Chains A and B, each alone.
Chain A
Amino acid sequence: METVLETRNLRKVFSAGSREQVLAVDDVSFTVGVGEKVAIIGESGSGKTTVAKLVTRLLAVTSGQIFLDGVDITNARGNTLKQAYRKMQMVFQSPIDSFDPRCTLGDGIAESLRNHGATKAEAQAETARLLTLCGLRADFANCYPHEVSGGQCQRAAIARALAIAPQLLILDEATSALDVTVQAEIMALLNRLQQELSMSYLFICHDIALVQDFCDRVLVMKDGRIVEEGTAEAIIRHPQIEYTQMLIDSVL
């Protein structure tokens, strides 16, 4: 299978003060194939979100390499990075905070379109189309983030991520700030979008139950390392290590 994302030996060290160092991500290598849905699960502090931020270049890696669609983006800056963001987009954990409080949802969705050369009218039409695609009325474009509910806002955030038709969508705990029924709706939306647009998903989550029907492959992280890898089915039925068993038990 062709790969859209590949990481090799990613490491991230945070230094707090001069002496104290925290190894947040240690030697993480994985691939995401075209059209594949991969989940990273693990407890809080296991380094899942850091991996997402490293892959999206929102954090600089300490060492290791990241390839997006065959291009090394480990140290990409400026225009190279801007082009990389055409291929991958992210949906963040807290939907309301992921929009500028002083801009409307429409502004937020249109921003990437405008940055990649769409005219104002084109961006507006596209924003309306995207909102409808994500199950919102087009007039949500005129709302401010604090005026809508978390679920609606997350739909708008998904619309924003889809705006420039990325090949890879990274979802960082995209449903954990929402209540259970809304969570199910968002998962259904993501499932539908994946079938319609055949994107790849990198799904970062602490809830194994949420990913079991959804993802092709699951990576289990603990203390910054990938400790287990396999299909969702195999991981849940026959976890190889105690930690994975614990994650499963905690939700079932």
Chain B
Amino acid sequence: MSEISVRAPKIRRDRLKRKLYFFSTVAALLILAAFFSEYLCPYDPYEQNMSLAKAAPSAQHLLGTDRYGRDMFSRVIAGSFTSIFSTLALVCFITGFGTIIGIFCAWMGKWIDTVLMRLADMFLAFPGLVFALAVAAVLGGGVHNAIFALAAISWPKYARLARSQTLAQQELPYMQAVRMAGSSPLKIIGKHVLPNIAGPILVTAMLDIGTMMIELAGLSFLGLGAKPPIPEWGSMMSDTRNLLATQPWVTLSPGFAIFFSVMIFNLLGDTVRDWLDPKNRR
């Protein structure tokens, strides 16, 4: 009996480790595939061939062709580049920007903190996608503007998180010792605060990849993201949505690509969170 209770945490941790390796490998493969998508496409994703339009899946065209006769398999692969890298860029940007603002607020305190945090509250009060829609509509379409629109609405979450984590660190006894060592504020933040607050922020960022991917695809679906000839999963679904009843594969294949990528990144995020959870430590 006692043996089981001693071994249980270790087994759980081993399983967690396997899960972590598995999901990070799949996520890494996905990112690699997106990076080399140009070389992985069997056909040119832009080439139209009207004689082959709306062909059903076959050995030549694994996922069939759309109404212009473009190979769907190539377009889904090419679309991964836009979808995955826009998402990663977006998440990196909001994580970095939000964290900097959050630490700055916690460190300065007083009116700077109040002003910036009320501003963050204002952004948080808007329904996210609706606000992003408005921003993207004002700026016009394009992937860059869609990223900007979503970044504008998404940074406050990270600012709040980084701020509360920094405030918590400032209360810890070691902070007084560090201050008495004569370290400058920049050194204290870089060497002591950041490494200590990085865990929860990274986990939030990992879990946000899926959400951001769906929101970017959503904006593209509504015509405010990637412009039509560019393969992007959201806009591909939007392009082909009236074919759903007759040639479902052209709508479903980008849809499945979104589903699969979001699932992988979410599962990876969950696993990383469990891995960093102190309850699962040795």
Where the two chains meet, the residues of A that have a C-beta atom closer than 8 Å to any C-beta of B are: 53, 56, 58, 81-82, 85-86, 89-90, 92-94, 97-103, 108, 111-112, 115-116, 157, 160
Contact = CB atoms under 8 A, between A and B. Distances in A.
Q: Which of A86, A90, A93, A111 has the most CB of B within 10 A?
A: A111
B180 interface: yes
Given A98-B173, A99-B174, A112 B192 contact: no
B181 A111 contact: yes
Give 9 nearest A-B pairs by CB, closest first.
A112-B181, A82-B182, A97-B173, A115-B182, A111-B181, A102-B195, A100-B174, A98-B177, A98-B173
Interface in B162-219: 172-174, 176-184, 187, 191-192, 195-196
Given A58-B179, A115-B181, 11 more contacts: A53-B176, A56-B180, A85-B180, A89-B180, A92-B173, A92-B177, A99-B177, A102-B195, A108-B174, A115-B183, A115-B184
A58 B180 contact: yes
Contact of A100 (B182, B184, B196): B196
Nearest to B194: A102
Interface of B: 172-174, 176-184, 187, 191-192, 195-196
Contacts of A53: 176
Given A102-B195, A103-B191, A103-B192, A97 B172 contact: yes
B180 A98 contact: no
Nearest to B183: A115
Contacts of B191: 100, 103
Contacts of B181: 85, 108, 111-112, 115, 160
Contact of B182 (A58, A85, A93): A85
Contacts of A108: 174, 177, 181
Q: Which of A81, A86, A112 has the most CB of B within 10 A?
A: A112
Contacts of B187: 115
A115 B185 CA distance: 12
B252 to A, nearest CB: 47
A61 B83 CA distance: 56
A81 B182 CA distance: 8
B100 to A, nearest CB: 20
Nearest to A116: B182
A100 B182 CA distance: 15
Nearest to B184: A115
